[in-house]
Amino acid sequence: MVEAKWFYTRAGQQQEGPVSAESIRQMLMTGYVQAYDLAWCDGMQNWQPLHAIADFADMAYARGGVTPGGALSYRGAGGVVDSEPSPFRRTAIIAFVVSIVGACLLPFCCGIAAGPVAIIMAVNIQKEMKEAGNFDGRGFATAALVIGIVESAITGLALAIKIMFL
């Protein structure tokens, strides 16, 4: 039986290959390719992310911190592969947006609740990410946490000053 020859792209760049399935596994293990990088072999209709290909899914999940169904959109040589972002990334982005909206409303004292809400959301999603071993969206969660803390500190300071001069 002849082993399939795989072609792959890294970060949507130029197509590389052919290589063996074992080579793809080694590249996943070393981080040379990521779970969202695309691959194709004879018999496949379109290019697919490595985490969506049965031969590589288990290693892609372990190495890349990808959850089933959690992918990004990529344009590959064979077409477009689309799917939803992971729930972790989605929640982290919502926490980030809450923190930004609160920071924008800070001068109007309407953002008083947004800081603590962003902090709580960010801490909870970071805890869930750690438990699941999936860190997709960690940057958004960290940014939401930092902005929420700064926002809360500024709001607290402004309220203290306001109370002192009443």
74 in any annotated domain = yes
Q: What is the pLDDT of residue 108?
A: 66
Count of structural domains within the chain: 2
Q: Mean pLDDT, to the nearest integer, of 79-104?
A: 74
For residue range 97-140, list pLDDT tens digits in order: 988 888 887 766 655 778 888 999 999 999 988 877 777 888 99
Whether pLDDT at 90 is above 60: yes
Residues 107 and 153 in one domain: yes
> Which among 107, 118, 113 is positioned nearest to 148, based on CA atoms?
118
**Which of 65, 81, 97 delimits the end of a domain?**
81
- Torsion on CA atoms 135, 140, 141, 146, rounded to nearest 10: 140
Q: Are residues 73 and 112 in the same domain?
A: no
What's the mean pLDDT in 131-152?
Answer: 86
The whole-chain average pLDDT of the chain stands at 79
Single out the residue in 41, 58, 81 at which a domain terminates: 81
Q: Does the pLDDT value for residue 55 go beyond 60?
A: yes
Q: In this structure, are residues 73 and 63 in contact, taking their beta carbons and an 8 Å threshold? A: no
Residue 60: which pLDDT band, with cuts at 50, 70 and 90? low
Whether residue 83 is predicted with pLDDT greater than 50 in this model: the reply is no
Higher pLDDT, 11 or 46: 46
For residue 35, the enclosing domain spans 6-81
Query: Which residues, other chains included, contact 52 with Cβ-Cβ below 8 Å and sequence gap of 6+?
Result: 71, 81, 83
Give the residue from 81, 111, 134 where a domain finishes. Answer: 81
Bridge partners (DSSP) of residue 39 are 8, 48
Do 100 and 76 lie in one domain? The reply is: no
**133: enclosing H helix or E strand:** none
Q: Which two tokens stand for residue 49?
A: 């992310």
Higher pLDDT, residue 118 or 59: 118
Predicted local confidence at residue 77, as pLDDT: 39
Of 142 and 60, more confident: 142
Residue 26 has pLDDT above 80, yes or no: yes
Q: Domain check: are 32 and 93 in the same one?
A: no
pTM of structure: 0.51
23 & 67 share domain: yes
| Lookup: tokens for 125 | 């999603």
By CB neighbour count within 10 A (0-12 exposed, 13-18 middle, 19+ buried), where does 79 fall? middle
Does residue 1 sit within a domain? Answer: no
Summarize the confidence of residues 55-61 as an average pLDDT. 77
User: Is residue 26 a part of any domain in this protein?
Assistant: yes
